[in-house]
């Protein structure tokens, strides 16, 4: 199964409540994916800085980590811990140096995502538990995507939880299963992409990253994926300023959307949208098969 | 008048009350509030009652319905009125995929659009969709009528048996073994009756085209292998 929720705000007055809404939406999709859950949140940020979301279980050395990395980079570093994830803010052009230093000094550090605005949190466990663990309801931002996973194609691990991110500020969640992911992964590896799991959904994320790197818009990248990716899928994709939805040509996996002047929302079932303010007056519709729906922040 | 608020009560409580309704009860008008996309609302009703559901519903609403008249004042999720035996299910909004799937009887009326696989494996149900229907509709339909005022998606009536499809708009493509057929007098009469029962006054049967089985795939024949 798996459940997906997504919320893209048009009205900035709702931004302080993004996490609260997403957290309720995620909990409503618990029955569709009780194995693990994850959230991508697009919050505050600037182009000069990059946020690295890392999984570092041991909190005791956070102080040393920040001071050590500041000394290494010769620049200020911000550190925010949420449970076993840490978000580091560093100068935008110093990512590879910072990661090299981290891997050298902290065994077991794992990069979850990188981006000027995006942070990703994911963990095994029931979705409402995962949302509580990271205090999702306190997060603010412009858009966010969440996923509740019932694993079918690979193991129930934190790395196998969605969202997957294969490029800065890019993330993808997937309900379904791809049948040609091994072949596509091989081709993408030849193009220089790096994959961390054997998961089919990570390949879909990588494919879109590769297309966008080549100059495609999010809409164009998704359109080309209809032919390139074989299998069942409903994708919800986030970029720094964009939000998009695509279903496979026979629309195997469920999807329902709502749009109003205030927001665009996605849910695997209407139950996920029923918790939103003003849903009575939103236009509720089912996205068509093999049709890309994309929104961009102005 | 029995009234259920699904914010305070469970779907199971509603359905058990419906299943336990006495045949001679005067409580013939049921009201359901705060449906909020919950699943299996009013599934398995078997009583001559009217049920008004205020809001959107989730999966399998009014599934297996017998005799009841169910009005959904919103959209319906997957499999609304699936396996309906008799009665009427009337959806004021749109319906998701597999609406009326495997239905044996009764009438399903959809004011809006229906997604993919509307009337899949229908076995005698009548379905009237005032908007358009998605791909693979009436797949393997065995009996009953599917009436569409708007357009139909790809592979309409794929592998159809003896169900009949009437479409007023455009058909994107026909599925295997589904062909257009000339409308006989009794087809026209059946269509007119269904349109009238669905409250449609401005549509004439002559404005529709009828589709049904070419009857080439009923029995396996190796020459037809490419069509399966």
| Torsion of the alpha carbons at A64, A89, A77 and A38, rounded to the nearest 10 | -10
**pLDDT band, very low/low/confident/very high, at B50 (cuts 50, 70, 90):** very high
Tell if the CB–CB gap between A254 and B135 is shorter than 8 Å: no
Tell if the CB–CB gap between B58 and A271 is shorter than 8 Å: yes
Tell if the CB–CB gap between B115 and A251 is shorter than 8 Å: yes
Residue owning tokens 């399903």: B108
Distance from CA of A132 to the nearest CA of B (A): 23
**pLDDT band, very low/low/confident/very high, at B156 (cuts 50, 70, 90):** very high
CATH number of the domain within which A98 lies = 3.30.70.3400
**Pair A137, A255 in one domain:** yes
| Boundary (domain end) residue, out of A84, A115, A146 | A115
Q: Which of residues 136-165 of B touch A (CB under 8 A)?
A: 136
Query: What pLDDT was estimated at residue B222?
Result: 83
Boundaries of domain holding A286: 3-43+126-296
- A283 interaction partners in chain B (CB closer than 8 Å): none
Does residue A65 fall inside a structural domain?
A: yes
Which residue in the set A250, A274, A285 is minimally distant from B37, CB to CB? A274
**Pair A72, A203 in one domain:** no
* Nearest-angstrom CA–CA distance, B125 and A120: 48
**Pair A183, A266 in one domain:** yes
Tell if the CB–CB gap between A271 and B36 is shorter than 8 Å: yes
Burial of A11 (0-12, 13-18, 19+ CB in 10 A): exposed
**pLDDT band, very low/low/confident/very high, at B22 (cuts 50, 70, 90):** confident
**Pair A149, A23 in one domain:** yes
**Pair A257, A158 in one domain:** yes
Reported as a single tens digit per residue, the pLDDT across A212-235 is 999 999 999 999 999 999 999 999
State the total domains in chain A.
Answer: 2
Distance from CA of A24 to the nearest CA of B (A): 14
Taking any CB pair shorter than 8 Å as contact, residues of chain A touching chain B are: 250-251, 254, 256, 269-274, 284-286, 288-289
In chain B, pLDDT over 90 holds for what percent of residues?
90
Does residue A64 fall inside a structural domain?
A: yes
Distance from CA of A280 to the nearest CA of B (A): 9
CATH number of the domain within which A32 lies = 3.60.20.10
**Pair A11, A99 in one domain:** no
| Boundary (domain end) residue, out of A85, A115, A145 | A115
Q: Kindly state the average pLDDT of the residues B175-188.
A: 97
**Pair A96, A18 in one domain:** no
Q: Nearest-CA residue of chain A relative to B155?
A: A250
**Is there a contact between A52 and A103 (Cβ–Cβ < 8 Å)?**
no
Three-state DSSP state, B111: coil
Identify which has the larger pLDDT, A24 or A60: A24
Q: Nearest-CA residue of chain A relative to B59?
A: A269
Q: Nearest-CA residue of chain B relative to A249?
A: B135
Does residue A120 fall inside a structural domain?
A: no
Domain at B3-227, CATH class: mainly beta
User: Is the predicted pLDDT of residue B111 greater than 90, yes or no?
Assistant: yes
> Which of A207, A215, A209, A263 lies closest to A233, judged by CA?
A207
| Boundary (domain end) residue, out of A96, A115, A134 | A115
Length of chain B: 228
**Pair A79, A208 in one domain:** no
Query: What pLDDT was estimated at residue B1?
Result: 87
Q: Kindly state the average pLDDT of the residues B160-174.
A: 98
Reported as a single tens digit per residue, the pLDDT across A118-133 is 999 999 999 999 999 9
**Pair A237, A173 in one domain:** yes
**Pair A179, A34 in one domain:** yes
Average pLDDT, chain A: 95
User: Is the predicted pLDDT of residue A37 greater than 80, yes or no?
Assistant: yes
In chain A, pLDDT over 70 holds for what percent of residues?
100
Bridge partners of residue B21, in order along the sequence? none
Residue A2 a catalytic site member: yes
Which residue in the set B56, B78, B135 is minimally distant from A250, CB to CB? B135
Residue owning tokens 């663990």: A133
Tell if the CB–CB gap between A251 and B134 is shorter than 8 Å: yes
Which residue in the set A251, A269, A289 is minimally distant from B37, CB to CB? A269
User: Is the predicted pLDDT of residue B92 greater than 90, yes or no?
Assistant: yes
Does residue A121 fall inside a structural domain?
A: no
**Pair A8, A110 in one domain:** no
**Pair A66, A85 in one domain:** yes
Query: What pLDDT was estimated at residue B160?
Result: 96
Reported as a single tens digit per residue, the pLDDT across A11-35 is 999 999 999 999 999 999 999 999 9
Tell if the CB–CB gap between A254 and B78 is shorter than 8 Å: yes
Query: What pLDDT was estimated at residue A154?
Result: 76
Reported as a single tens digit per residue, the pLDDT across B79-88 is 999 999 999 9
Please state the ipTM of this predicted complex.
Answer: 0.86
């Amino acid at each position: 199964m798996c459940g997906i929720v997504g919320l893209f705000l048009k009205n900035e007055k709702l931004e302080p409540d993004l996490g609260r809404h997403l957290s309720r939406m995620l909990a409503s999709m618990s029955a569709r994916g009780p194995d693990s859950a994850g959230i991508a949140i697009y919050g505050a940020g600037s182009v000069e800085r990059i946020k690295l979301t890392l999984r570092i279980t041991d909190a005791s050395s956070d102080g040393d980590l920040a001071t050590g990395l500041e000394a290494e980079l010769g620049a200020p570093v911000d550190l925010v811990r949420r449970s076993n994830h840490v978000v580091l803010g560093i100068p935008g052009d110093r990512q590879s140096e910072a990661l090299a230093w981290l891997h050298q000094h902290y065994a077991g550090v794992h990069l979850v995502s990188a981006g000027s605005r995006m942070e990703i949190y994911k963990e095994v466990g029931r979705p409402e538990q995962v949302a509580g663990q990271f205090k999702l309801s306190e997060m603010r931002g412009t858009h966010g995507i969440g996923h509740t996973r019932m694993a079918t194609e690979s193991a129930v691990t934190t790395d196998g939880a969605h969202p997957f991110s294969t490029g800065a500020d890019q993330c993808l969640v997937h309900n379904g299963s791809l049948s040609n992911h091994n072949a596509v992964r091989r081709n993408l590896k030849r193009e220089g992409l790096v994959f961390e799991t054997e998961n089919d959904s990570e390949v879909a994320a990588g494919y879109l990253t590769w297309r966008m790197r080549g100059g495609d818009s999010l809409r164009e990248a998704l359109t080309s994926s209809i032919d390139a990716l074989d299998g069942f899928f409903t994708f919800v994709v986030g970029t720094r300023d964009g939000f998009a939805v695509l279903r496979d040509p026979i629309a195997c996996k469920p999807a329902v959307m709502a749009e109003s002047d205030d927001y665009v929302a996605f849910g695997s079932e209407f139950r996920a949208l029923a918790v939103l303010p003003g849903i009575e007056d939103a236009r509720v519709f089912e996205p068509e098969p093999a049709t890309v729906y994309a929104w961009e922040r102005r | 008048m029995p009234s259920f608020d699904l914010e305070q009560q469970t779907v199971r409580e509603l359905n058990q009350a419906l299943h336990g309704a006495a045949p001679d009860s005067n409580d013939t008008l049921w009201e359901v509030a705060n449906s909020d996309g919950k699943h299996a609302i009013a599934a398995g009703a078997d009583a001559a009652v009217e049920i008004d559901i205020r809001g959107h519903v989730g999966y399998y609403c009014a599934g297996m319905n017998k005799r009841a008249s169910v009005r959904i004042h919103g959209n319906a999720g997957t499999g609304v009125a699936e396996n309906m035996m008799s009665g009427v299910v009337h959806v004021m909004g749109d319906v998701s995929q597999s609406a009326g799937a495997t239905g044996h009887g009764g009438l399903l009326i959809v004011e809006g659009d229906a997604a993919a696989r509307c009337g899949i494996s229908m076995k005698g149900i009548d379905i009237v969709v005032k908007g358009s229907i998605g791909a693979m509709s009436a797949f393997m339909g065995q009996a009953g009528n599917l009436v569409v005022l708007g357009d139909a998606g790809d592979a309409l009536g794929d592998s159809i048996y003896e169900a009949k499809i009437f479409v007023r708009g455009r058909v994107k493509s026909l599925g295997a073994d589904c062909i257009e057929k000339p409308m006989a007098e009794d087809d026209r009469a059946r269509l007119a009756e269904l349109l009238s029962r669905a409250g449609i006054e401005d549509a004439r049967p002559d404005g529709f085209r009828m589709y049904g089985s070419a009857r080439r795939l009923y029995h396996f024949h190796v020459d037809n292998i490419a069509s399966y």
